[in-house]
Chains A and B, each alone.
Chain A
Amino acid sequence: MPKLTMVQALNLALQQEMAADDRVVLLGEDVGVDGGVFRVTDGLYEAFGAERVLDTPLAESGIVGMSIGMAVYGLRPVCEMQFSGFSYQAFHQLENHAARMRWRSQGHFHVPMVLRAPYGGGVRALEHHSESREAYYAHTPGLKMVIPSGPRNARALLVAAIRDPDPVIFFESKALYRAYREEVPDKEEVLPIGTSQITREGSDLTIVTYGAMLRPVMAAAEELQQQTGAAAEVIDLQTIAPLDDTLFVASARRTGRAMIVHEAPRSFGPGAEVVTRLVEKAFYYLEAPIARVTGYDIVIPLFAREKSYLPNADRVLRAARRLIAA
């Protein structure tokens, strides 16, 4: 199996889906000739032409609004927001139309589109290039919100997103884009949207996370075991909405201790929903208050301080030790 970076794995998904299905078209700022500012669409303009890879004018609302029209017509548009921080310019199209067309038309129309956007911090970028606002989209009925945690699941989830009959917001961690390579089979691989995964088994505490936070969480879990012998079970949500609570609820019932880790701000963040599900479904099994290790309730600072804002393995580890001791 070839070892690919997340950028290459996403590119593979797009390339294979485009080859297999002529309904799949790409659109966005600089996705064509330039191959995307992160090169996720590299080579696709050359392979499929300007008809299927559209370098658009600079207007996010235009990109998303046009994608909705394409999708209603029966195509499978995959649009790119250059950074998730610029998806707000398209917010009204997502909230008012992408999310509601099926409901409004009582199933007559639907919007099988994907909106891809790099999200998250850790790459020394400018303002608006480092935030983690998946909660906005997860909070919107009608949208699905997917965040892969590595090259292999990124590829398989993107394929699923493209084939999904409903609009999918697909956030890609910039910090993971070229962080490491992973074996990604050339053969088709699809991971169903709306399913989480256990990435590490353990019986002493449950850590729920997703996206770029999976790596520090895994590192913390290893360290925790070394230091204390306690085994953390790690659950990668993969999809934020619709949230699959089966694995983490079952896990927390077993371990009695749970923690959620994300880089998004804490209040009203995805963790708040995870905690609520645990309270609703595992309350009597819990032996300690649920912990949240997250970004703080502030705008992520410019990059000189972003490391202090983002959760890291040590912070997760300390929280895990406190949880074990509680």
Chain B
Amino acid sequence: MPRTHIELDESIERLSILDAEGNVDKERDPDINRELLLKLYRAMVLGRRFDERLLALQRQGRIGTFPPISGQEAAHLGAVAVLQPEDWMVPAFRETAAEVWRGRSLESVILGNAGFNEAAALAPPGPNLPVAVPVGSQMLHAVGLGWAARYRGKDQVVLTFFGDGATSEGDFHEAMNFAGVYQAPVIFVCQNNQWAISIPRHAQTRSATIAQKALAYGMPGIQVDGNDVLAVYAAVAEAAARARAGNGPTLVECETYRMKMHTTADDPKRYRTDEEVEGWRRKDPILRFETYLKRRRLLTKAKIEAVDAEVREAIQTAVDAAETRMASLGDPIDMFDHAYAEMTPAIAAHREEFLAETAAAAEEGSDA
């Protein structure tokens, strides 16, 4: 009985197009049109400034805890920019800029972070699922959506986001396997930001890369510099073309970095060094893209300032609108809505009970 070597005709690649200094590999430049390039740039700046503003609002107690995205703008915007409006996006929770790209208003994000269920109603109806907080749980939905699109004869593709930590959950493996088995038109985009709260990437899995996990499920995997928006776009565009052509799923690992805390309830100083953070600051996704655009004469100092001023104003407008709206929202009676298509007798009874409690409380000046 021989003991032979099994040749797997598979390997994985790493793609980088725009380096940290803004030098571009001209041959690999995905040739994004000028309008889209500038739209991407604005979206990245907006994502960063909005993150900073949310952090300030949180510190002032005006919103609750939230997961900052700073440093990861290229990873999720470069990916989502590939999608057509009718394609689906299935997010985790650290893709705020991608949600905004897909039409969610800043106001909706603020309201959500302020604990208002109405935030979801403000998001425009479209093929975008709401954020999924339970880590890794959403990827299987992407597979189901993709399968359903094929069943209906549509050429839509589905893009789902998740973190490096999520790749440890069973659901990740089930989603990858199902997508492979059914050749579902899914693009799995891992934002590998090196940390899952306090757990570093190397303690999450012994695999040298996350991209290679694709091979076990019979799908292509690619690792990209996730702070290089051109590389992310190029890799996801390739994956989308593959999915649209009926050739199944792809795993794209975007190597990036979470520049801020996990959520505002977290203190990263407990588990990582300032030097590490500083090292990644030099690889900032926005700065290098700015250099690239300047060299291509698509951006000038004046234009940069104009974009900055414009996004700040958009953010201020959204904060004001959200605060005005918050004043008119929050009638607790609405909490009984949306549990079922038709309110159950028990919920209806509880709703009545709550109204009676509220009336009694008002009469005596106490809490409902």
Contact = CB atoms under 8 A, between A and B. Distances in A.
Interface in B111-135: 112, 114-117, 119, 133-135
B152 interface: no
B319 interface: no
* Best-surrounded residue of A59, A85, A314 (most CB of chain B within 10 A): A59
Interface in A102-158: 124-129
Indicate the size class of the contact surface on chain A: 35 or more
A74 interface: no
B355 to A, nearest CB: 11
A277 interface: no
Interface residues of B, number: 54
A304 B118 CA distance: 10
Interface string B270-292: 11000000000000000000000
Contact of B347 (A30, A34, A297): A297
Chain A interface, >50% SS class: loop
B237 to A, nearest CB: 29
Contact of B346 (A86, A127, A267): A267
B205 A299 contact: no
Contacts of B153: none
Contacts of A309: 332, 335
B134 A57 contact: no
B170 interface: yes
A20 interface: no
A34 B357 contact: no
A314 B204 CA distance: 47
Contact of A37 (B116, B265, B332): B265
A302 B347 contact: no
A17 interface: no
A198 to B, nearest CB: 26
Contact of B197 (A29, A306, A312): A29
A285 interface: no
Interface string A63-96: 0000000000000000000000110110000000
Nearest to A65: B170
Interface string A291-315: 0000011110111111111001111
Contacts of B170: 59, 61-62, 89
A127 B133 contact: yes
A298 B336 contact: yes
A29 B361 CA distance: 42
A124 B169 contact: no
Contacts of B298: none
Contacts of B265: 37
Given A85-B134, A301-B117, A314-B367, A30 B203 contact: no
A304 B116 contact: yes
* Best-surrounded residue of A88, A304, A307, A317 (most CB of chain B within 10 A): A304
B168 A59 contact: yes
A117 to B, nearest CB: 14
B347 A125 contact: no
Interface string A259-271: 0000000110000
Contacts of B266: 37
A193 B262 CA distance: 36
Contact of B350 (A58, A86, A298, A314): A298
A57 B168 contact: yes
B350 A297 contact: yes
B199 A57 contact: yes
Contact of A59 (B65, B169, B326): B169
Given A30-B197, A125-B64, A305 B169 contact: no
Contact of A57 (B204, B332, B339, B353): B204
Given A34-B270, A55-B203, A315 B367 contact: yes
Interface string B346-368: 11001101100100110010111
B115 A302 contact: yes
A127 to B, nearest CB: 5
Interface of B: 64-66, 112, 114-117, 119, 133-137, 165-166, 168-171, 196-199, 203-205, 263, 265-266, 270-271, 326, 329-330, 332, 334-336, 339, 344, 346-347, 350-351, 353-354, 357, 360-361, 364, 366-368
